[in-house]
Structure 1
Amino acid sequence: MQIESHLKKKQRVLDNFLIPFVKSRSFPYLWLSQLISMLGGSVTTVILPMVVYSLTGSTTMMGIVMAAYMLPYVIMLPFSGWIVDRYDRVKIMMLSDIVRFITMLAIAVLIFTDTLSIHVLFGLVGIYGLMEGLFHPAYSAVRATVFTPEIRNAANALTQMSNQAVRLIGPVLGGLLISSLSASYGFGLDALTYLLSFLCLLFMVKKSLYTPTIKQIADQPSTSWKSEFLEGITVLRSHPWLWITILAFSFINISYSGISVILVPWLFKVHLQLDPLMYGIGITCSGLGAIVAALIFGSKTKWPHRGLLAYGSVLLSGVALLLLPFTSSAVILAVLMAVEGFGLMIFGLIWETSLQELVPAEAFGRVVSLDLLGSFALLPVSYFLIGLIADGIGGITTITLFASIGIAIVASVLCVPAIRRFQ
């Protein structure tokens, strides 16, 4: 009887994850589009830092490159929310895919012909960041429409779990490509995935599998960009969970992302002098931890004490980052990266689900753009400063300092009753 009960429980979990494919005609194509492009992005995540450090060897220059990516991204966000709520969101995603395809292909060709300079890389990375700033609000808004309440938890968990599964392959593949062939092959693969993603979205449009169910702003009386932007702020202010979290993560992301993007590659390549493949394995372990988190989260339709669960998970990630520089063991590094990925995934799933529950569909683009703006506005400066500080006081000290700051911010947010009691 115990075995039979266990099998039935496993079957219920499996059926729960299959619901989005059964109940939504557009979900499979939206899911496949993002999954394919995620493969290329995860390869580039490993290769880009290796290219920058090969060209310059400087954490400061790595910080500037990431700032060159993030600054156009952040500048685009206040406008992309307005654009996304006015125009066809799927076609906005398609436009972004085509431009990102051209950008990644250009980088691949320049590396292959040995003509890539750090200054040209700044410009191309900037164009890529601009398109990312347009794409992400559009994708989030489409997802909020497609992920209806009956499939929401499973669809969010399945999307994140499959994306992380691809990230298990991508970083290792990126490490192998740059170690055995050339970085140009990695960027070429990234370009190809954006083209395939475009074709998936084109199929959705041509077969009319996705039709917006909300009344777009374009159909409503014309109002100023400023008033529509303020309307998004009004929606946020009505929910303390939303605006407090966005405000908190504008600072938490400075610490956590700065470490992950600038200093973790430095830790593996420069400080520990490990092969690029080992950095790829580390990123893969982070993805593995995230997959485990998505499996656990998606197995239930409702979770109690979501505020405590979300910020407790972020706290766990911060502790993992804090401990990274104090070991040279590949096994322990892998475990810490897995814990970091696990914690951030639990938070991300709770956050995405709460946005889809609390934000009206007609304002989703603007609210998501404000969310991204609040979370990432300071990242261009932080990437540059963290790289500069690491060059000045050392990478190990910088990791310890910023991980401790991030943990302190999370602990202070947990003192707010509206966060602790969020259900």
Structure 2
Amino acid sequence: MQIEAPIPKKPRMFDQFLIPFVKSRAFPYLWLSQLISMLGGSVTTVILPMVVYSLTGSTTMMGLVMTAYMLPYVLMLPLSGWIVDRYDRVKIMMLSDLVRFIVMLAIAAFIFSDTLSIHMLFGLVGIYGLMEGLFHPAYSAVRATVFTPDIRNAANALTQMSNQGVRIIGPVLGGIIVSSVSASYGFSLDALTYLISYLCLLLLVKKSLYASSKAEPAKANGESRAAVHADANHTNAKSTFSWKREFLEGIKILKGHPWLWITILAFCFINICYNGIIVILVPWLFKVHLGLDPLMYGIGITCSGAGAIAAAIIFGSKTKWHHRGIFAYGAVILSGAALLVMPFTTEPIPLCLLMAVEGFGLMIFGLIWETSLQELVPPEAFGRVVSLDLLGSFALLPLSYFLVGWIADQIGGVITITIFASIGLAIVGSVLCVPAIRRFQ
């Protein structure tokens, strides 16, 4: 009697997202650390504009506050890439978490005692931005080595999907907090999440899942000790290298890949248009132009997160995507179109749906971009390259935030959104005319 072999079950789409937890012991700690701190950050995203507009009512002042955040961030980036490639990357993240915990706690205390002034907010937000400029290259470098090729697509998608998941909870929670109690409770929650994030990273180190040894070839299971730490001490052998030489090496790596340097250059200007609208004028659209409750702005941010989650699920369900250049920039066009239509929408529900489209498009691009960086950039140079990426993308944002806020005060927010969204779309269209972008696979 012949016994037929059992037919293997077809893997379910969501099984793909379990792979990082199974194959990487470091992934859960890194994932949980960032997820928890993202919750606090998403609460603050809603509360900070409400605090600034309550203190001043001015889009120009909101632009100045964001400039005070972004300027130290940008100035830190050239140095932070060098630091990240020379020193212990996880400990850099831990230091940043501690300082951000103190800053958020201080803002909460000043609001609670009714002593917060706009000038104090400038200083505290500036310190926060400085630590963000140190944290992000370190986190990206650690993530690039922990997310080994066998888990990369799933790990990137799961990280972004879960982060956007807390963006669904956080903004609504922030809107409830600022509407029903006090903004100080929201900043206190943000401070607490940074403390918990620090403890998760501490466990990562204490459990020896993270080592400060030189990078080794990947083990058969796809993860080596170097996959937990991207060669933090590799620069001991390169101690004679100057900061300038290492910085130029990062530029050399970028120049070898047209997809990287063209996209960084393009987003230096695209971010001026898109981020200026999203950070400065979308809160104005909800609170000032339409006179909606802060909770509704929180729901709008939540919808943006929901759109991003949908994008992450779609992207993470496959291990390989073709025509990534066209796919990525097509998604950016989708987001720009949503921003262009927003000022002509007077009802909350269509406005929230447009926020979802905006979040969907930018997440698709972000996932493709992050994956391509991890594929093309050597781990030992990742900190420098990421810092150059962030520097190129965000260098002009301090000027953008001030400029967008000031122009909106002069000619009106609706016209300003229309102008900047149109410019952004025109830039994206011109980038798609470059064959190296269209052909990127």
Give your verdict on TM over 0.5. Answer: yes
Where does residue 368 of structure 2 map in the other structure? 350
Contact 1:84 1:137 in 2 (8 A): yes
Q: Distance in 2 between matches of 1:354 and 1:199?
A: 31
Deviation at residue 223 of structure 1 after TM alignment: 1.0
Amino acid at match of 2:331: S
Alignment of structure 1 residues 132-281 onto 2, 5 Å: 132-211=132-211, 213=226, 214-215=230-231, 216-281=234-299
Q: Distance in 2 between matches of 1:219 and 1:98?
A: 30
Where does residue 358 of structure 2 map in the other structure? 340
Contact 1:87 1:218 in 2 (8 A): no
Q: Distance in 1 between matches of 2:325 and 2:424?
A: 17
Q: Distance in 2 between matches of 1:269 and 1:331?
A: 15
Q: Distance in 2 between matches of 1:37 and 1:48?
A: 16
Deviation at residue 218 of structure 1 after TM alignment: 3.0
Gaps of 5+ in 1: 1-6
User: Secondary structure at 1:114's aligned position in 2?
Assistant: coil
Q: Distance in 2 between matches of 1:219 and 1:149?
A: 27
Deviation at residue 217 of structure 1 after TM alignment: 1.5
Amino acid at match of 2:61: M
| Identity score, percent | 81
Deviation at residue 302 of structure 1 after TM alignment: 0.1
Q: Distance in 2 between matches of 1:208 and 1:343?
A: 38
2:326 is aligned with 1:283: no
Where does residue 19 of structure 1 map in the other structure? 19
Where does residue 436 of structure 2 map in the other structure? 418
Amino acid at match of 1:250: C
User: Secondary structure at 1:18's aligned position in 2?
Assistant: helix
Q: Distance in 1 between matches of 2:361 and 2:69?
A: 25
TM, length-normalised to structure 1: 0.97
Deviation at residue 211 of structure 1 after TM alignment: 2.4
Q: What is the CA deviation profile of residues 261-320 of structure 1, one whole-angstrom value per residue up to 9, with x for unaligned ones?
A: 000000000000000000000000000000000000000000000000000000000000
Contact 1:321 1:399 in 2 (8 A): yes
2:86 is aligned with 1:86: yes
Q: Distance in 2 between matches of 1:174 and 1:20?
A: 31
Deviation at residue 8 of structure 1 after TM alignment: 5.3
- How many residue pairs end up in the alignment? 416
Where does residue 3 of structure 1 map in the other structure? none
Deviation at residue 250 of structure 1 after TM alignment: 0.2
Deviation at residue 221 of structure 1 after TM alignment: 3.6
Moved more, 13-22 or 52-61: 13-22
Question: More helix per residue: 1 or 2?
Answer: 1
Computed over aligned residues only, the root mean square deviation of the Cα atoms, in angstroms, reads: 1.0
Gaps of 5+ in 2: 1-7, 213-225
Where does residue 44 of structure 1 map in the other structure? 44
| Alignment match of 2:346 (pick from 304, 323, 328) | 328
| Alignment match of 1:406 (pick from 424, 427, 431) | 424
Q: Distance in 2 between matches of 1:211 and 1:147?
A: 16
User: Secondary structure at 2:319's aligned position in 1?
Assistant: coil
Deviation at residue 330 of structure 1 after TM alignment: 1.3
Q: Distance in 2 between matches of 1:12 and 1:24?
A: 20
Deviation at residue 236 of structure 1 after TM alignment: 0.2
Q: Distance in 1 between matches of 2:169 and 2:236?
A: 41
Contact 1:37 1:197 in 2 (8 A): yes
Q: Distance in 2 between matches of 1:374 and 1:172?
A: 32
Q: Distance in 2 between matches of 1:105 and 1:163?
A: 22
User: Secondary structure at 1:143's aligned position in 2?
Assistant: helix
Q: What is the CA deviation profile of residues 38-86 of structure 1, one whole-angstrom value per residue up to 9, with x for unaligned ones?
A: 0000000000000000000000000000000000000000000000000
Amino acid at match of 1:73: Y
Q: Distance in 1 between matches of 2:414 and 2:404?
A: 12
Moved more, 265-274 or 221-230: 221-230
User: Secondary structure at 1:122's aligned position in 2?
Assistant: helix
Amino acid at match of 2:418: T
| Alignment match of 1:389 (pick from 407, 428, 436) | 407
